[in-house]
Structure 1
Amino acid sequence: MSNWSLSQLLASLHEDIQQRLATVRKTIHHPGSKGDASENVWIAMLDLYLPKRYQTAKAHVVDSLGNFSQQIDVVVFDRQYSPFIFTYEGQTIIPAESVYAVFEAKQTADAGLVSYAQDKVASVRRLHRTSLPIPHAGGVYPPKPLIPILGGMLTFESDWNPALGAPFASALNAGTGERQLDIGCVASHGHFFRDPESGSYSFESENKAATAFLFKLISRLQFSGTVPMIDIEAYAKWLV
């Protein structure tokens, strides 16, 4: 009989993420460097475990009208149908049509971070996105409806006690419309997600928070469908 244990494999995934975040917290003291290292831990996890149609990066998002988002710590974007991703002087620029999800990543969750993450997410959601008709062998499909861009936050710890209690819920509920957060993880304690039907938040305290968050994110991405067909000509006008 096999000695493999699925439970142990899933536990190991979480322990790896939690240990790497804890190491960043203990060994890196410069705030900027600590933040960069935390972001890299989450980006590495998502790049490793998300299906290859998705890619993750720290980036700005741009639309065809020339508007830019704030800098986003973790952007989950399409690489199967995205025709271009810009890089300039070490910075990554992603067209708005290619974005599936955006996250603010920090060491510790508090009310200020929730509000900051809500503003960051809103700066992406308010960007203009194109959607062209899709040719196929029998004719043309109409333009796809724009998929909702998921927004969230990723941290190692929380200033609140309990970590996923009423103050956290109050801070999340303060974000409405473009500022609402959909999903997130406090690796030391659990994860949260917003029900798209009821609009209410659920908070799950568990020992394998990073793994539970990853599974929930993959599930939400599966229901997002595919990004729209981008209008390249709308961007090409900026060549003039």
Structure 2
Amino acid sequence: MKKPKKINIQKLFNALDYEMRQKLSSKIDEIYHPSAKGSEAELNWIGLLRNYLPERYSVDSGFVVDHEGNISEQIDVIIYDRHFTPFIFRGENIVYIPAEGVYAVFEVKPELNKANYDYAVKKLNSVKHLKRTSASFVHILGKDKKELFDVMGGILTKENGSQSVYEGLKSGSELSLVLCLDCGIKVVGKESILVQDKEPILAFFLLKLIEYLRMLGSVPALEVDKYLSFVDKEKV
């Protein structure tokens, strides 16, 4: 029997990593105003994730809200479900996403340091404190409810601004995914996986993120009636 042809998988990952880095850094170094550069970085990350994540996941920046009207802090990158989330509130350049539909939130910063890390944890907690519902759904065996999972949080950075934060991440992290492109650190929750800069770190990040999202499964079906309680029924 003839042996199948082989291809170098490492080279494929390296090519994917290079392609993503090119898209991520498009013209950002030509921007001098810090806030404009920050906004460009967020848009680049959002574009990158929209490009490479499976189509079932949507990506935006904005706020997360619950059925009681509570709201998170503004989040740089939100990965959420569009298929099972019946409505997304969109204002002028602002998106409000029901808490039930959110898989993960990320903070985008130029460097990894303690202040930025703590800020990302604060943003994540502002989402985790929101109240989520889980409506029953019908399937072939009857009715069921999806158990609520922990919303995943992370920080996306380019440079390492603190050796102490680098060392501290080795023993675990409050954030599920911590990425520092230039210093080659990739820490995955309490697993403490470190990926050195010689490896295709961006491709590794993407694949690990997809794996985490897959493990979460589908989002819970939100209880629409809880949100409808805010509607003035006399005007409907």
TM-score computed with the length of structure 1 as normaliser: 0.86
Q: Distance in 1 between matches of 2:225 and 2:213?
A: 28
- Report the counterpart of residue 32 of structure 1 in structure 2: 35
Q: 2:111 touches 2:157 (CA, 8 Å); kept in 1?
A: yes
1:141-220 aligned at under 5 Å gives the runs 141=144, 143-161=145-163, 165-169=166-170, 173=173, 180-188=174-182, 189-195=184-190, 201-206=192-197, 207-220=199-212
Greater mean deviation of Cα atoms: 203-212 or 15-24 = 15-24
Greater mean deviation of Cα atoms: 14-23 or 44-53 = 14-23
Identical pairs, percent: 33
1:115-130 aligned at under 5 Å gives the runs 115-130=118-133
Greater mean deviation of Cα atoms: 153-162 or 1-10 = 1-10
- Report the counterpart of residue 43 of structure 1 in structure 2: 46
Poorly superposed stretches of 4+, deviation over 4 Å: 1-5, 20-25, 167-170
Q: 1:22 touches 1:156 (CA, 8 Å); kept in 2?
A: no
Structure 1 portions without partners, runs of 5+: 174-179
Structure 2 portions without partners, runs of 5+: none
Q: Which has the higher contact order (CA 8 A, sep 6+)?
A: 1
Q: Distance in 2 between matches of 1:167 and 1:159?
A: 13
TM-score computed with the length of structure 2 as normaliser: 0.87
- Number of equivalences: 227
Asked if 1:113 corresponds to 2:116, the answer is yes
Alpha-carbon distance change, 6 to 209 in structure 1, aligned in 2, over 3 angstroms: same
- Report the counterpart of residue 100 of structure 2 in structure 1: 97
Q: Which one has a bigger Cα radius of gyration?
A: 2
CA deviation string 1:72-115 (max 9, x = no partner): 00000001211011100110110000000000011111111000
CA deviation string 1:16-47 (max 9, x = no partner): 33344445552111111111111112111211
Aligned amino acid, residue 186 of structure 2:
H
Q: Distance in 2 between matches of 1:29 and 1:2?
A: 49
Aligned amino acid, residue 212 of structure 1:
F
Q: 1:72 touches 1:103 (CA, 8 Å); kept in 2?
A: yes
Q: Distance in 2 between matches of 1:24 and 1:161?
A: 28
Q: 2:28 touches 2:37 (CA, 8 Å); kept in 1?
A: yes
CA deviation string 1:137-194 (max 9, x = no partner): 55322x21102110000011111359x7314457x65xxxxxx211121122131111
Cα deviation for residue 204 of structure 1 reads 2.1
Alpha-carbon distance change, 159 to 22 in structure 1, aligned in 2, over 3 angstroms: farther
